[in-house]
Structure 1
Amino acid sequence: MLGPTAVKQDLVISAYKPNGGFEERFQKEAQTEEGVWDFVRTHLKYLPVTKRQGPLMLFVPERDPRILFDQMVAYYVRKGYPVPISSQEFQIGLAQRFIERDGMYFLPDQVAEYDRKKMTSGAPQQLSMFVSDEASSIQWLRQLIREKPQTFSDINPQFMQQLGGWSKNEAQLDLRELLNQNFLCYDGKGPVPEQIHAYLSTNWKELRNLTKDDPALVTKARDRWYVPDPNKAGDLEKLREKALLKEFEEYKEVKKKLKIFRLEAVRAGFKKAWQERDYAVIVAVADKIPNNVLEEDPKLLMWYDQAVTRIGGE
């Protein structure tokens, strides 16, 4: 049984066949980082440049760096290759090779089209989303503070309103933990980060044309959370992955079934085990989590199916 996302990924990937030889090139490049960037270039070519709802331009989630990383990993795993790059390296490499607009990545010729459409329609809107687990919480927070860097006391009541239907097997994380592991907070030391400066100078007349270390600007910016640039995001990703893998180690040791757990920790653990060809760990932990969770999560199901296939073939 495949979840809808997995099916969608397969449709996107099977569309690569008549694409000027990507499949053939990939056979040669799969073990190198060049294979990753060739995949991303090919994949971006097939994604819509913009999406619309009536007069509104919408955010295109498939162009988000995390989703691009997931798609690349899925392609490598289905082809049976180890992934030659970490999530942190991917974020940095993406920013070096492709063009970013509003948290999305484009090819050079696509950016001109995107900019043209944005001039007539305004900035892209995000479809309202439900916060039901760690991944959707991070996505929601990213959307919220990318547009408007805010303090914890500004974010907290808005976040609480979004907590409608939290997944019953998902461990609920504290908002501070989510912020600390995924975003940065300006402590008032050093110049105001560009992300906060851009927002404040656009929205407050008296803060325009000030240097980034001007006391008035620093005071207004202090304690605001913001989305880090790719280099800093890579460092945060490393810390977060360490915390997730530490949790996964506990799941490996547990003898009984897991009722409440951190889904992101299981995903991170499966990915690491796959890289280390430790397929038995994937199958052992998969047996401890509820069947419906495994079957409804395309990422977990992909690692699990591939692990079972590999064990059968050894």
Structure 2
Amino acid sequence: MTVVFSNSKAAVWNTIQVALQQTGFVVAEVTALDKKQGSFQQVMSPNTVKQDLVISVYKPNGGLEQRFAERGATPESAWDFVQTHLKQLSVTKARDGELEFIVERDPRRIYDRMVAWFVRHDAPVPLSSDEFLSGLRSRFHEIDGMVFLPEQVAEYDKKRAQMAQAPQMELFVSDERSAIDWLTEFLKKRPSTYQEIHPEFTKQLGAGWRKHEAKPELAALLEDNFLKYEGSGDVPSQIHSYLSTNHKDLRGLEKSNPRLVAKAKDRWFVPDPNKAQDLEKKREKALLKEFETYLAFTGRKLKEFRLEVLRAGFKAAWVNKDYQTIIKLAQKIPEASLQEDEQLLMWYDHALTRTEADA
């Protein structure tokens, strides 16, 4: 099914998306429809949205529901969903002679769709974020930051060979999660020291920051999500690859070479999947601890908070079937913040549904 609508509020889009998911649909694509000739209101009013949103959704067939009923909430069910989902997504999209980045093929977006699938079935999510991302890379093909089925690779490569450059994902830093994503992309390309990262990161924290979202310290984001080479032992391969590629005098050196070690010292880098899982567990524990302080808040509304803390807390409460905690905390944040965050709205909406069903 394809839904076309026009509205400038994120809350409206999120409400429609959650409603679609609750009735069994999975979102495959969201694009803007430029009709060239707008309606009378669109043409005459300066405040109306000039483009309509197009949401393409599908209901899985081919036995996915039956296999889920037989297996339950297992990792195999998660990978079965991913296999089905990737078949439904566009393999390539081009505009003005350039390939576009397909957002729905981004690993984290696929994880979000998988989570929504399990939540709709009132089932626990069988994989953590990093377990999922690690498994995704070992089971499927990741090209230009997008995930493909083996049989889709040839089609993408053929189209990619006709283009001058690879598609680029647009990253708009508006909250802690998108800040982490920006740092991940930055450090993948260029493992750097804090002093090198800081000015580039500061440029990203502009006017688009969410109103009630607490601005995180760069040092805390790096400490919780990345690794720093302290100068002992061999230089990590991520840093070694960057330095040997960008510094002629460091090419061909062993990872233990003193000159390479000196240049690599104090550089932050993206950890490999195994270490990333350890960091994720440590970070989730800290997020849930902070969530407890939100629950203990006695005022009417939280004026500032971390969306990552709320997402982690809502997810943990859902796993424990503690729907009242989700509802209680949702009442402590501004309505707009709840409605404008797809994940929070999903957990809250399903918690309400389950509470009403149990009444």
- 1:171 Cα offset (Å): 0.9
Aligned equivalent of 1:208, options 230, 234, 251: 251
Work out whether 1:66 is the aligned partner of 2:81.
Answer: no
| Alignment match of 1:3 (pick from 8, 13, 19) | 13
Q: Report the Cα distance in structure 2 between the residues aligned to 1:161 and 1:224, rounded to whole angstroms.
A: 20
Aligned to 1:188: 231
Instruction: Name 1:89's counterpart in structure 2.
Output: 131
Give the counterpart of 1:290 among 320, 326, 334: 334
Structure (1 or 2) with the larger CA radius of gyration? 2
Letter in 2 for 1:221: A
**8 Å CA contact 2:91, 2:156 repeated in 1:** yes
Evaluate the alpha carbon distance shift between residue 84 and residue 298 of structure 1 in structure 2; reply closer, same or farther with a 3 A threshold.
same
More divergent stretch after superposition (205-214 vs 266-275):
205-214
**Aligned counterparts, 1:115-154, within 5 A:** 115-121=157-163, 124-154=166-196
Matches within 5 A, 1:47-58: 47-58=89-100
SS at match of 1:261: coil
Q: Distance between the aligned counterparts of 1:273 and 1:162, measured in 2?
A: 32
Kept after mapping to 2: 8 A contact 1:149/1:225: yes
1:81, 1:173 → 2: CA distance?
32
Mapped contact 1:89–1:234 kept (Cα < 8 A): yes
Distance 1:241 1:217, change over 3 A: same
Q: Distance in 1 between matches of 2:116 and 2:350?
A: 11
Mapped partners of 1:203, 1:46: distance in 2: 40
SS of the aligned residue for 1:100 comes to: strand
Identity across the alignment (%): 54
CA contact (8 A) 1:270 1:282 kept: yes
The one-letter code sitting in structure 2 at the alignment partner of 1:141 is L
- C-alpha contact 1:41 1:107 (8 A) present in aligned 2: yes
TM-score in terms of structure 1 length = 0.90
Query: What do the CA deviations read for 1:35-61 (whole angstroms, capped 9, x no partner)?
Result: 011011112222333444545444443
Q: Classify the secondary structure of the residue corresponding to 1:228.
A: coil
* Matched-pair contact (CA < 8 Å) for 1:50–1:60: yes
- Match for residue 305 of structure 1? 349
Task: State the distance in 1 between where 2:100 and 2:265 align.
Answer: 31
Tell me how far apart the structure 1 counterparts of residues 263 and 67 of structure 2 sit (CA, whole Å).
52
Structure 1, 230-239 or 113-122: larger mean CA deviation = 113-122
* 1:12 aligned residue: 27
Residue 105 (structure 1) shift: 2.8
| 1:238 aligned residue (281, 305, 329) | 281
Shift of residue 277, structure 1, vs aligned partner = 0.2
- Cα RMSD, aligned residues only: 2.3
State the match for 1:226 in structure 2: 269
- Structure having the larger proportion of residues in helix: 1
Residues matched between the structures, number: 313
Question: Alpha carbons of 1:111 and 1:215: their partners in 2 closer, same or farther (altered >3 Å)?
Answer: farther
Deviation of 1:125 (Å) = 4.6
**Partner secondary structure for residue 346 of structure 2:** helix
How far apart in 2 are the matches of 1:141 and 1:51?
A: 26
Query: Which structure has more RCO (C-alpha within 8 Å, separation ≥ 6)?
Result: 1
- What letter corresponds to residue 259 of structure 2 in structure 1? A
Aligned-pair CA distance for 1:284: 0.3
SS in 2 for 1:3: helix
Q: Given residue 306 of structure 2, which amino acid in structure 1 is its aligned partner?
A: R
Q: What is the TM-score with the length of structure 2 in the denominator?
A: 0.80
- CA–CA separation in structure 2 for the residues paired with 1:306 and 1:190: 49
Q: Aligned AA for 1:70? A: D
- For the Cα contact (< 8 Å) 2:73–2:126, is it kept in 1? yes
